[in-house]
Amino acid sequence: MTYRFEATSQAVNEVLAAFRELFPDQSAELSVLNESESLTLTLEKTRKKKTRPQENYYRKWCREFAKWSGLTEDEMHEEILCIAFGSDHIETRFGVKKRPIKRSGRIKREEYSELIEHLIITAANMGFAVPPPDYDEDEYG
């Protein structure tokens, strides 16, 4: 949801007063906002994004598996995305291209865990051993 307020409206004063009460350490910054011509307030649900340990683990083993299989790291990443989330086949001037339905930057922590599982399983099926992550529920999903 996005709300736009004219700075002269009573609603801006009420919203900023509520924020000053909730975030007293930010009072000075909130006062500066009160001097603007208009304000935009956006509210959205926070998604649990992938964690840094998840991404580091995935990138390391994706790179190693790619070297082993003769692909670049980017090519391997595309393959694992397609395996994990499906793919579309798009007709281009260079021929038919396979593209993953989902990108890793736009998935939740749990889905990133699935991506890691697909990397491990795919590698194992091809004879390359990817060790399981040091499992920590907070870090990996």
Mean pLDDT of 43-70: 89
Mean pLDDT of 56-66: 97
Which single residue is written with the structure tokens 């795919």?
A: 122
Residue 32 resides in a domain: yes
30 lies in the same domain as 61: no
62 lies in the same domain as 115: yes
Residue 132 resides in a domain: yes
Residue 107 resides in a domain: yes
Residue 6 resides in a domain: yes
133 lies in the same domain as 81: yes
Going by C-alpha positions, the residue among 52, 60, 54 that lies closest to residue 130 is: 60
pLDDT score of 7 more than 70: no
- Specify the range with the lowest mean pLDDT, choosing from 21-30, 43-52, 89-98: 43-52
pLDDT score of 5 more than 80: no
The domain in which residue 12 lies consists of: 2-42
15 lies in the same domain as 79: no
110 lies in the same domain as 64: yes
- Full-model pTM: 0.63
Residue 47 resides in a domain: no
**Number of domains, the chain:** 2
